[in-house]
Structure 1
Amino acid sequence: MKKDELKYLEVETCGTTVFVTRDNGKEIVNMDNCESRIQDGCYFFWTLEDIVGYIHALFPNERVVITVWEESGLTGRIFRYGNSADYWESHGTTRGFA
């Protein structure tokens, strides 16, 4: 998948952790107020672009690096935004919970 297409990638809200690295350190972001999308009445998700918008609203005018860990019992994916430039990169995969 091309890096400009990653922003449309869906990540499940359950089992996803979002970290933000700012000048004053790294923190886990409470995503409870980030509006999720619903598919088929039971699948709740965000796009990676939804996450960027939410983080930029929380930390306006700050340079941040966003790391997203999407984990389930069998698979996991890690994505990073802002590390090299303002786009998403696939940072790795796991075999379930890390």
Structure 2
Amino acid sequence: MIIHANEMYIILNYVLAIIFAIVVGLIVKLPLLPEKPMRDSWTLSAIFPTAIIALGFSAIIFKLVIFDLYSGMVVAVIIGIFSALFTKFLFGRIFPKPDGGIS
């Protein structure tokens, strides 16, 4: 399988977005991992959902628009920063926590 330069830039952009999302998430005081047990925890963390949101935003932006500014690396950094700030300040308002009651 041959990996062309364009695909390598896309993979590098995804990795940059994830790294910046995690670093900025830690800077704005998101915990690295959710509280235990993780499967029952609705705690926001730097790993989940911040990195997943960064991947999703990156996929949407890179599919819809082609960026030539440093092969999209600047956009990947901006997406990483935006996804961490989105998770910290807006995620709870857009997606509220469940009530916790069994229906």
**TM-score in terms of structure 1 length:** 0.26
Going by fraction, where is strand more abundant, 1 or 2?
1
Bigger CA radius of gyration: 2
Going by fraction, where is helix more abundant, 1 or 2?
2
State the structure with bigger RCO (CA 8 A, min sep 6), 1 or 2: 2
